[in-house]
Structure 1
């Protein structure tokens, strides 16, 4: 198993280094390569533009695709983000790579969170309709009942702190352990 994680600053590990990122923490725990292709400030369009170079070229068995936060901050239409995510999934499948969609964590700007919520709904619907595995990072950052964000997991209004990255790693770890045991 070899995994590429493509995304934005939340994949990269901002405001820290990639050593603190959830993918690196999973790598240390499972001992499987997780190549961090998170780029600070990137959008789903940017991820799509670099997908062939950053993912396909690495020949992974799996790719974790997680984006949308910067799109929401820029007010990008949900249809455009849906198209970008679905095109990355298609590229993965065409190249024999198993896609996994990462459901983005909450954003603590209410206007941007409303937009990001639309993206999440689209990602979940797309994943379920197409039998694509998903990692639900969002739910791990919500209090029981799903009405309040766990603010103690944030370094700022968008990015996890070190504890937040550990929570993300635990969620990814649980899913990837299942993938390993399933063969």
Structure 2
């Protein structure tokens, strides 16, 4: 037992123990996790969270708390364990892509009202512990025509017609993120706007030609991940 205790102490001292505190936590879904990288054979070190860790070695330790397929509702269930208990100084919050998915009953997986409520909850709890929340908008999806491997091959176009298409509908969730950032005086990385600017437009053809988004239509390539990494680096949020 004594030997085990000594080993645990050494691990904790090295930042590997169960009570490890992180400088920052990236909290979100598959675009935070970089869940598509192994599926597409993209280099692991080019995920945006990994790029932050590599560039900030010895200064910042960013924990990746992204889980593919999750909404803010899912994230709320694990928020304390995956975020608050790590005592981060900064928390990057990037949800919305899965919240905005419209189901066959015509309703989104997470309503806009609940999406807003969950984000406000995250912000409030982070600030109570003296941390800095940073909101990140989601990427502009490539809709496709339903016969390729893009967004409409998995989700029915008909459910998005009222919102002038899935891309505009997704951006309406981003508008909630932007509004909260303004009203709550929270830092914002507008990843949507940055990617559209880099692509030279927000049409399917613009986005496809940019190489920022993979064939799923709603996940970043390494090039897209680097846009987010550079935006965070240039913002001087992590010091």
TM-score by length of 1: 0.89
1:47 aligns with 2:75: yes
Q: What secondary structure sits across from 1:159 in the alignment?
A: coil
Higher helix share: 1
Q: Distance in 1 between matches of 2:237 and 2:179?
A: 22
Q: Distance in 2 between matches of 1:146 and 1:86?
A: 31
The aligned counterpart of 2:138 is 104
2:50 to 24, 30, 53: 24
User: CA contact under 8 A between 1:3 and 1:35: conserved in structure 2?
Assistant: yes
The aligned counterpart of 2:101 is 73
Unaligned runs of 5+ in 1: none
Unaligned runs of 5+ in 2: 1-21, 39-43, 103-107, 144-159
TM-score by length of 2: 0.69
Q: What secondary structure sits across from 1:155 in the alignment?
A: coil
- CA separation of 1:65/1:93 partners in 2, compared to 1, >3 Å: closer, same or farther? same
The aligned counterpart of 1:167 is 227
Q: Distance in 1 between matches of 2:114 and 2:169?
A: 12
- CA separation of 1:139/1:33 partners in 2, compared to 1, >3 Å: closer, same or farther? same
Q: How does 1:140-155 map to 2 (within 5 A)?
A: 140-143=194-197, 146-148=201-203, 149-151=206-208, 152-155=211-214
Q: Distance in 1 between matches of 2:114 and 2:166?
A: 16
User: CA contact under 8 A between 1:78 and 1:115: conserved in structure 2?
Assistant: no
- CA separation of 1:48/1:170 partners in 2, compared to 1, >3 Å: closer, same or farther? same
- CA separation of 1:164/1:147 partners in 2, compared to 1, >3 Å: closer, same or farther? closer
Higher strand share: 1
Q: What secondary structure sits across from 2:139 in the alignment?
A: coil
Q: Distance in 1 between matches of 2:117 and 2:124?
A: 10
CA RMSD of aligned residues (A): 1.9
User: CA contact under 8 A between 1:101 and 1:123: conserved in structure 2?
Assistant: yes
The aligned counterpart of 1:59 is 87
Runs of 4+ aligned residues of structure 1 deviating over 4 Å after TM superposition are none
User: CA contact under 8 A between 2:201 and 2:207: conserved in structure 1?
Assistant: no
**Is the deviation greater in 140-149 or in 128-137?**
140-149
User: CA contact under 8 A between 2:214 and 2:220: conserved in structure 1?
Assistant: yes
**Is the deviation greater in 139-148 or in 53-62?**
139-148
Q: What secondary structure sits across from 1:87 in the alignment?
A: helix
The aligned counterpart of 1:117 is 171
